[in-house]
């Protein structure tokens, strides 16, 4: 499962720096990461929630680093955005990542299950 989670996390990170494409890729990347990572991890109906939680935990690590740096160094804003708003954005993105990657892994499982029947 760790390989699938790391591949999914890599897909999310790779979709961020691509110019212009990132406007479409970032909102869809948790679903795509869950779909591909769930296929690699071969998740089933019981492990899809755990897969999504692992993806969300990986996404929370940069947020935790930011909060720690904010407390240690007193960072007030990043790119002219208040650090409080940045933390709220992170708190919204973590459940979004969990939901998208869980749904992607579940659909990957359903497709694999239907292919095994045929």
The domain segmentation of the chain, as residue ranges, is: 2-117
Distance CA 71, CA 56 (A): 23
> Helix (H, G, I), strand (E, B), or coil: what is residue 14?
helix
Distances in Å between the Cα of 100 and the Cα atoms of 68, 81, 88, 115 are 27, 26, 19, 23
What predicted TM-score, i.e. pTM, was given to this entire model? Answer: 0.84
Q: Given pLDDT bands bounded at 50, 70 and 90, which one contains residue 106?
A: very high
- Quick: pLDDT tens for 17-59: 888 888 888 889 999 999 999 999 999 888 999 999 999 999 8
Distances in Å between the Cα of 37 and the Cα atoms of 44, 92, 97, 108, 114 are 12, 22, 13, 9, 18
């Amino acid at each position: 499962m760790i390989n699938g989670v790391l591949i999914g996390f890599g897909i999310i990170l790779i979709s961020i720096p691509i110019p212009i494409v990132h406007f479409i890729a970032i909102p869809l990347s948790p679903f795509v990461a869950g779909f591909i990572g769930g296929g690699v991890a071969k998740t089933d109906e019981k492990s899809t929630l755990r897969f999504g939680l692992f993806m969300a935990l990986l996404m929370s690590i940069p947020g935790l680093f930011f909060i720690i740096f904010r407390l240690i160094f007193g960072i007030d804003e990043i790119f002219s955005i208040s650090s409080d708003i940045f933390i709220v954005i992170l708190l919204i993105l973590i459940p979004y990542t969990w939901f998208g990657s869980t749904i992607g892994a579940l659909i990957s499982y359903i497709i694999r299950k239907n292919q095994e029947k045929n």
